[in-house]
Structure 1
Amino acid sequence: MSAWREPFLRLNWTDTETRAKGYVVVDRLVGGIATGGTRMRAGCTLGEVEDLASGMSYKTGALNLPVGGAKGGIDFDPFDPQARGVLERFVRAVRPILDDYWVTAEDLGIPQDLLDEVFDEAGLGMSLHAALVRSADPDRTLTRVREAFAVDVEGVPMPDMIGGYGVAEAVGAAAERLGLVPGETRAVVQGFGSMGGSTARYLARGGIRVVGAVDAKGVIFNPGGVDVERLLKARSAYGEIDRSALGPGDRELPVEEWLSVEAEVLVPAAISYAIDADNCEKVNARLIAEAANVPVTADAEQRLLERGIPVIPDFIANAGAVGWAWWTLFGDITPEPMDAFEKLSVEMRRAVGQILEAWEAGTDSPREAARELSQRNLDEFARLYGEASATRTVL
Structure 2
Amino acid sequence: MTAAAPFLSTSWTDHVTGRQGFLVIDRLVRGVCSGGLRMRQGCGLDEVAGLARGMTMKEALHYDPTARYIPLGGAKGGIDCDPHDPAAYGVLVRYLRAMRPYIEQFWTTGEDLGLTQDRVDEAVAEAGLVSSIQAVYPLLDDEGAARRRLTDAFAADVEDIGLDELVGGCGVAESALTALDRAEVPYASTRVAVQGLGTMGGATARFLSRAGLPVVAVADVKGTIANPDGLDVEALLAARDPYGTVDRTALRPGDTELPGAAWLETPAEVLVPAAVSYCINTANERGITARWVVEAANMPVLPEAEELLAARGVTVLPDVVVNSAANAWWWWTLFGDIGPDPDDAFAHIRRSLRALTDRMLARAEADGSTPRAAAHAIVADRLPLITERFGWHG
Q: Deviations over 1:74-99 (max 9, x none)?
A: 34455555544444443333333222
- In the other structure, the counterpart of 1:133 is 138
- In the other structure, the counterpart of 1:325 is 330
Quote the Cα distance in structure 2 between the aligned partners of 1:308 and 1:60. 29
- From 381, 385, 389, the counterpart of 2:390: 385
Kept in 1, the 8 Å contact 2:227–2:256? The answer is yes
Q: 1:181 to 1:148 in 2, by over 3 A?
A: same
Quote the Cα distance in structure 2 between the aligned partners of 1:22 and 1:214. 28
Offset at residue 185 of structure 1 (A): 1.7
Q: Deviations over 1:134-191 (max 9, x none)?
A: 3232222111111111111110011211111111111101111222112222211222
Asked whether 1:290 is paired with 2:295, we answer yes
Q: 1:239 to 1:11 in 2, by over 3 A?
A: closer
Quote the Cα distance in structure 2 between the aligned partners of 1:18 and 1:96. 22
Q: How does 1:202-351 map to 2 (within 5 A)?
A: 202-351=207-356
Quote the Cα distance in structure 1 between the aligned partners of 2:330 and 2:250. 34
Which letter maps to 1:107? D
Quote the Cα distance in structure 1 between the aligned partners of 2:84 and 2:17. 14
Quote the Cα distance in structure 1 between the aligned partners of 2:259 and 2:105. 50
Q: 1:73 to 1:270 in 2, by over 3 A?
A: closer
Work out which structure has the larger RCO, using CA pairs closer than 8 Å and 6 or more positions apart in sequence: 1
Q: Deviations over 1:46-85 (max 9, x none)?
A: 2222111111112222233511100122344555555444
- In the other structure, the counterpart of 2:31 is 32
Quote the Cα distance in structure 1 between the aligned partners of 2:57 and 2:30. 16
Offset at residue 349 of structure 1 (A): 1.2
Offset at residue 326 of structure 1 (A): 0.9
Which letter maps to 1:35? S
Kept in 1, the 8 Å contact 2:62–2:71? The answer is no
Q: How does 1:336-375 map to 2 (within 5 A)?
A: 336-375=341-380
- In the other structure, the counterpart of 2:8 is 9
Kept in 1, the 8 Å contact 2:156–2:340? The answer is yes
Aligned residues: 388
Relative to the length of structure 2, the TM-score reads: 0.90
Q: How does 1:107-146 map to 2 (within 5 A)?
A: 107-146=112-151
Quote the Cα distance in structure 2 between the aligned partners of 1:288 and 1:193. 18
Q: How does 1:32-51 map to 2 (within 5 A)?
A: 32-51=31-50
- In the other structure, the counterpart of 1:157 is 162
- In the other structure, the counterpart of 2:67 is none
Quote the Cα distance in structure 1 between the aligned partners of 2:345 and 2:353. 12
Classify the secondary structure of the residue corresponding to 2:241: coil
Comparing 18-27 and 224-233, the one that deviates more: 18-27
Which letter maps to 1:33? V
Quote the Cα distance in structure 2 between the aligned partners of 1:256 and 1:79. 22
Classify the secondary structure of the residue corresponding to 1:259: helix
Comparing 213-222 and 124-133, the one that deviates more: 213-222
Asked whether 1:169 is paired with 2:174, we answer yes
- From 75, 78, 82, the counterpart of 1:73: 78
Quote the Cα distance in structure 2 between the aligned partners of 1:97 and 1:218. 39
Classify the secondary structure of the residue corresponding to 2:271: strand
- Fraction of identical pairs, as percent: 47
Kept in 1, the 8 Å contact 2:27–2:33? The answer is yes
Classify the secondary structure of the residue corresponding to 1:133: helix
Asked whether 1:55 is paired with 2:80, we answer no
Quote the Cα distance in structure 2 between the aligned partners of 1:194 and 1:113. 13
Offset at residue 334 of structure 1 (A): 0.1
Classify the secondary structure of the residue corresponding to 1:308: coil
Quote the Cα distance in structure 2 between the aligned partners of 1:32 and 1:241. 42
Comparing 164-173 and 59-68, the one that deviates more: 59-68
Quote the Cα distance in structure 1 between the aligned partners of 2:16 and 2:252. 53
Comparing 69-78 and 276-285, the one that deviates more: 69-78
Q: 1:265 to 1:111 in 2, by over 3 A?
A: closer
Q: 1:250 to 1:120 in 2, by over 3 A?
A: closer
Q: 1:43 to 1:192 in 2, by over 3 A?
A: closer
Kept in 2, the 8 Å contact 1:116–1:125? The answer is no
Which letter maps to 2:307? Q
Quote the Cα distance in structure 2 between the aligned partners of 1:142 and 1:19. 36
- From 81, 86, 98, the counterpart of 1:93: 98
- In the other structure, the counterpart of 1:201 is 206
Which letter maps to 1:105? G
Quote the Cα distance in structure 2 between the aligned partners of 1:79 and 1:162. 25
Quote the Cα distance in structure 1 between the aligned partners of 2:168 and 2:156. 15
Offset at residue 368 of structure 1 (A): 1.5
Relative to the length of structure 1, the TM-score reads: 0.90
- In the other structure, the counterpart of 1:392 is none
